[in-house]
Amino acid sequence: MNIPCILIPVLAGLICAILGYLLGKMNSKKEDSLATSLQEDLDACKANTKNLTAKIAALETELAAKAKITPSPQSYAAVTPTILFDSALAATVFGKKIKENDLKIVEGIGPKIEALFNEAGIITWYQLSDTSTEKLQSILDAGGENYAIHNPSTWAKQALLAYQGKWQELKDMQQGLLGGKE
């Protein structure tokens, strides 16, 4: 029997086995470091999520506290300066009965927009006159595209005239308007 023919394949197999073992050990160290890195990233994400959840809870608590402090439309109406409403004079000028704080008297405001403003806390002529055009437009925009097309630029001034009982001035102003726009 030829010993070198048997010994060479056995030695080659033994060398390959040792090299395979060593390469496997090196790769397992890389996988362990990768797993450790991923675990650290996961822990950091969990900690960040916990911090953000705590911040959200704090902001919700703060918002709830502010909501309790904000006056309701009824209490706002109580601190609104009062000017006596003369329905007879309003009816004489407009030729129809006018209800106090009826927002529909403003050119450009119909029942649906009045309801939208009422939901936003604007229920009186004074409140409407005291609200900026930007705020009115943002309320309309929030109501959807059917409301967003309206232009509330003259509504505060019209509401102020109604609140002050300047019915003839209001009527004269509205005659120059088209859908509440100048």
Mean of the per-residue pLDDT values of the chain: 83
- Which of 70, 88, 111 represents a domain boundary (last residue)? 70
Note down the domain range covering 120. 74-175
Tell me the angle at which helices 155-164 and 167-175 cross, rounded to the nearest 10 degrees. 150
Q: Can you give the pLDDT at residue 135?
A: 93
Stretch 85-108: mean pLDDT: 88
Residues in CB range of 77: below 8 A, 6 or more apart: 123, 124, 127
As a whole number of angstroms, the distance between CA 102 and CA 124 comes to 7
Choose between 9 and 112: higher pLDDT: 112
Q: Can you give the pLDDT at residue 5?
A: 78
Q: Is the dihedral of CA 159, 162, 166, 172 positive or negative?
A: positive
Is 45 a residue whose pLDDT tops 60?
Answer: yes
Whether residue 42 is found in the same domain as residue 106:
no
DSSP 3-state assignment of 75? helix
Residues 23-39: tens digit of each pLDDT: 887 776 666 676 788 88
Q: Can you give the pLDDT at residue 36?
A: 80
Whether residue 11 is found in the same domain as residue 88:
no
Whether residue 130 is found in the same domain as residue 153:
yes
Residues 58-96: tens digit of each pLDDT: 888 888 777 665 555 555 545 555 678 888 888 888 888
